[in-house]
Chain A
Amino acid sequence: MRQAEKRADFEAAVLPHLDAAYNLARWLVRNESDAEDVAQEATLKAFRFFEGFRGGDGRAWLLTIVRNACYSWLRRNRGDDLNVTLDEEIHVAEDRRAGPEAEVLRQASARSLQHALEGLPTVLREAIVLRELEGLSYAEIASVTEIPIGTVMSRLSRARRRLQQALGGKEALQ
């Protein structure tokens, strides 16, 4: 592929998704300047390997690379973020308790939502970001995070349960 042509293709297929790339990085590394650095490096890497892109969904392709870059960054800088084990027992117990009323959830402040989402383990947080903020389908999330669709489904349900619980707890304290 000639360089000029490659760049034009890349600019058309991948660069429109910089917002999505930045948003994912921002939620995974959880600070502005590191998110910018990681997302920029990942996008350059995507450009270098653009020959490996076989058409299709440029967004999912870029997000996959950005996600991998974020995980490498987290492993280097925030090892603890990835050391969260998801204990099945706890989740079953959580499931039995009803969450807060729909009305409470509907009125949750932006601040408490942000706090609740930031408090989720990385893999649950990314599931919510990809589904609720980026609007990806289960199949796209499975492809970006390299897990089976069934796991996407169970991670989303755990993440939502935890968000509801976090929001309910907060409201109750006020």
Chain B
Amino acid sequence: MSCTEPRELVHAYLDGELDLVRSVEMEEHLRECGACAASYERLRALRAALSASGLRFAAPAAFVGRVRSAVRAESAKTGRRAPRRWLAFAAPLAAAAALLMFLSLPRVTETGRGGTDLLLDEIVSGHVRSLMVSHLTDVTSTDKHTVKPWFDGKLDFSPPVVDLADHGFPLLGGRLDYLGKRPVAALVYGRQRHFINLFVWPVDVAPSAEETLARQGFQLVHWQQGGMTYWAISDLNAAELAEFAELERARAQPPR
């Protein structure tokens, strides 16, 4: 790690958001580089000042009381409402509710389109981050028999690992990453001077459709197979990434 790394990494280190390997690299760098160490010291001082200054506003007791009774009142009101009145207003209400939900509800679930959007953002960020910090792989090996066992004990599943060097997509290694609030396997493949991140984790929600899309200049391909969810992302062109996905699917097929 060097000073040319994005300065944001010092913040991620301060916030405990770097993985173990990158944390260790950062610690080494801070020992060697006076300028970065001083900047880290200033950040720690700012944090200490912020947390000591009582900046967090506590909710006034009267406010908490009002909200609690408003919730009780709302609950009683909805409970007593006659079903027939509901029927009369059902259609416009449903339409309004649907619109309202569309406009203002947080989209934090994994199933909605919003969840997928959030996941896509995370995938793109994960890909960018892996290139940005020159930390593509935790285990660097072109041998699938080295990469696959490396994940043992680090994940609660075992990702299928295949090599596609004979088709011009050599396996470069693997890495742990974190997407959609769970640890996932990231397999890294090369194609000339481009990189492909293939994120793999078990299907945990309703099966999702296959997809090919572009986002922030990257190509993405998504599929599910053998109980696993796959997302491939790269700056390769769409045709080459589709070829990669095809080969991956054919090869990951369990032998009959």
Residues of A within 8 A of B (CB): 3-4, 6-7, 10-11, 15, 18-19, 21-23, 26-27, 32, 35-36, 39-40, 43-45, 47-49, 52, 54, 56, 60-61, 64-65, 68-69, 72, 95, 98-103, 105-110, 113-114, 117, 128, 131-134, 137-139, 142-144, 146-150, 153-154, 156-157, 160, 163-164, 167
Contact = CB atoms under 8 A, between A and B. Distances in A.
Interface residues on B, range: 35 or more
Contacts of A164: 42, 46
Contacts of A143: 106, 108, 118
Interface stretch (B72-80, B139-147, B148-156, B237-245): B72-80
Nearest to A45: B104
A64 B108 contact: yes
A49 B56 contact: no
Given A100-B42, A113-B53, A154 B63 contact: no
Contacts of B101: 49, 52
Contacts of A45: 104
A47 B48 contact: no
A144 B75 CA distance: 26
B71 A142 contact: no
A102 B67 CA distance: 42
Contact of B75 (A3, A61, A110): A3
B107 A146 contact: yes
Contact of A52 (B46, B67, B105): B105
A22 B49 contact: no
Given A36-B60, A95-B7, A150 B44 contact: no
Nearest to A68: B104
